[in-house]
Amino acid sequence: MNSEFDFGLITAIIKRRLGLVLSFAIATFLIFAAVAYLLPPRYKASATILVESQQIPTSLVQSTVASNAAERIRVIEQRLLTRATLLDIAAKHRVFADRPDMSPSQIFDAMRDATTFELVNLGGRRGGNAIAFTVTFESSNPRVAAAVANELVTLILEQNVKLRTGRAAQTYEFFEQEVARLSDELQKIENEIVAFKKANRDSLPESLDYRRDRLALTQQRISLLERERANLLDEKRILAAGLEDPELLAQQLDRPLTDNEKELRALERERARQRAILAESHPRIRALDARIAALRKIVAEELGAADGAAEDAGASGRNAIIRKVEQDIAVIDKRIANIEEEIAQLDREQHELERTISQTPSVEMALAGLNRRYAGLQAQYRDVQAKLASAATGEQLELKQQAERFEVIEQPSVPERPASPNRPLILLAGLGAGLGGGVALAFLIEFLNRRVRRPSEIVAALNIEPLAVIPLVRTAAEIRAQRRRRALVALGVIAATAGGLAALHFLYLPLDLLAERAIEKARLDSLVGLVRARLQL
């Protein structure tokens, strides 16, 4: 068969195989119509939820929930689509009451497939975006679809409130725990500082100036006491020397002192004072010793001249004088002992002051470290307290639902007509598939038929040029049979059309309502009204 076809050949093939094409189209259409009739209707109930922004300006009150709306919606979706939740919803609303043989896994899969979440970005001015989302549930029962959709909306709102308040409460609890922890640490370091100050109270830096002044006073006091002790030792030495010559001592005590004796005693006292701060070999001490020795010779000569007058003193008088000198020496010894004890005590105090003064720098460094830790913890404590106050405000904001919230702007209602299957579309697809398949089948049969149908095919097959072509001459019986076939085809087309219209009327929508909706879709209702008004006139 030659593959070159012209339009006339195609038309001839379609006319010749018209019965086959129509039969195939009718059969296919009937199959699609049966499928459209047998498919159960599916109803969808949807709700639209708008994400509203915070009511109070964020410059005044800041929410503690940091997640954005899209993320929170996804979290809620995953929580709702869990196995336990979907099985509870299915059991509560008897979603699959007509299918008692379904297992829990099958119910879960069917519920998950029938539930749909879809984000909708509404856009906004000045770069802002308003977010909404829809939740849809599909079921063979319209009331069940609406009930489940309402149940999902309720759970979504509850989950959103629970999620936001839960996060706000967790934030508040976290900062509350931080405040308690920092308070404990502050108390602990305060106790450490108190214990450290108690343990090093003698070396604290704030008393350093006092201890230095005290050390200077102690050293000055020790110097004065040592000088007084030296004077007392010299006075004791003089009295002890007088005990060796009681008569001379008695004379000295009974009579008034001469000028040389007064000068001698003054030099001895001066020598005692100088000896407290100068060495024995010092030139000043040697000069004083020379002057004292010279004065003693002069005093001794004066005392030798006055011996006759002292003979009249009795032995009892000498003994009394000796006792008095011994008492004076005992008083001097007691005073010297007290001075030495006081000097020893002052020496211990001096050593202790020197020790604490030398320890003050290390104590000051350790105390500064503790104070730095305390100041750092105080700063953290104040910061956490401020955040705790913000967290408390944010929690109240969530509890009173003044922050970002979900608002249902379109409640799910009982659907009036099924969302699927689209029976008109199925019937239209069946009609198109039938006609297309019938034409394709006709062409396939023609291509497989090897009979000669055109003069050009004879030329190609026999390689000869025909003189004339005799057309097909049909007999009267063949003409009658052809007319009967055409009548049957026409009747089949009429029956298919009537069946399709009946299917639309009974299975989808009454034809009058369908016509009204078609007129409304085409915006011809005003024209139809005008025509009806003219016809009534």
Residue spans of the domains in the chain: they are 7-37+421-536, 41-154+401-410
537 pLDDT exceeds 50?
no
- CA distances 494 to 88, 488, 499, 500, 520, Å, are 52, 10, 8, 10, 28
CA angle 448, 452, 457 (to 5 degrees): 105
Query: 48 has which bridge partners?
Result: 134, 410
Sign of CA dihedral 339, 345, 351, 357: negative
Which helix (H) or strand (E) element contains residue 367?
helix 315-399
pLDDT at 319: 62
Residue type, 531: V
DSSP letters spanning 305-333? HTHHHHTTS-HHHHHHHHHHHHHHHHHHH
Average pLDDT over residues 303-316: 50
pLDDT of residue 254: 52
Q: What is the mean pLDDT of residues 322-339?
A: 81
What's the pLDDT band for 305 if we cut at 50, 70, 90?
Answer: low
Kindly list the strands in the beta sheet with 130-139, ordered across the sheet, starting from the edge strand earlier in the chain.
115-123, 130-139, 43-52, 405-410
Higher pLDDT, 99 or 300: 99
pTM for the model stands at 0.50
Q: Residue 517's pLDDT is what?
A: 65
CA distance 241 to 276: 21
Taking alpha carbons only, the member of 406, 228, 203 closest to residue 332 is: 228
State the pLDDT at residue 2: 45
pLDDT at residue 204 is higher than 70:
yes
Range in 70-74, 276-280, 523-527 the model is least confident about = 523-527
pLDDT of 334 > 80? The answer is: yes
Condensed to tens digits (0 to 9), the pLDDT of residues 439-459 reads 787 777 767 766 656 666 665
Average pLDDT (195-204) is 87
- Bridge partner residues of 46 (DSSP): 136
- Quick one: how far is CA 324 from the chain centroid? 95
Confidence band (pLDDT; 50, 70, 90) for 310? very low
pLDDT tier, 466 (very low <50, low <70, confident <90, very high otherwise): low
Structure-token match 């004076």, residue found: 328
Greatest mean pLDDT among 119-128, 155-164, 519-528 lies in 155-164
Q: Which helix or strand (DSSP H or E) is residue 402 part of?
A: none
Q: CA–CA separation, 381 vs 374, rounded Å? A: 10
As a whole-number percent, the residues of the chain with pLDDT over 90 amount to 5
Above 80 in pLDDT, residue 195? yes
Q: If we measure between CA atoms, which residue out of 171, 185, 170, 173 comes closest to residue 379? A: 185
The pLDDT assigned to 125 comes to 43
Spell out the CATH class of 41-154+401-410. Answer: alpha beta
Report residue 308's pLDDT band, with 50, 70 and 90 as the boundaries: very low
Question: What's the pLDDT at 414?
Answer: 84
- Burial (CB count within 10 angstroms: exposed 0-12, middle 13-18, buried 19+), residue 18: middle
Mean of per-residue pLDDT scores for the chain: 76
Residue 9 has a pLDDT of: 62
Which pLDDT band, with edges at 50, 70 and 90, does 512 fall under?
low
Q: At what angle do helices 142-199 and 69-80 cross, to 10 degrees?
A: 110
Greatest mean pLDDT among 81-85, 227-231, 502-506: 81-85
pLDDT greater than 50 at residue 368: yes
Neighbours of 222 (CB within 10 A): 18
Compute the radius of gyration of the chain from its Cα atoms: 65
- Spatial CA neighbour of 148 closest among 396, 129, 140, 325: 140
Whether the predicted pLDDT of 190 surpasses 80: yes
Residue 188: is its pLDDT beyond 90? yes
Contact 93, 151 (CB under 8 A): yes
List C-alpha distances in Å: 159 to 34, 55, 56, 134, 152: 44, 20, 22, 16, 10
- Tokens 């009534």 sit on residue: 536
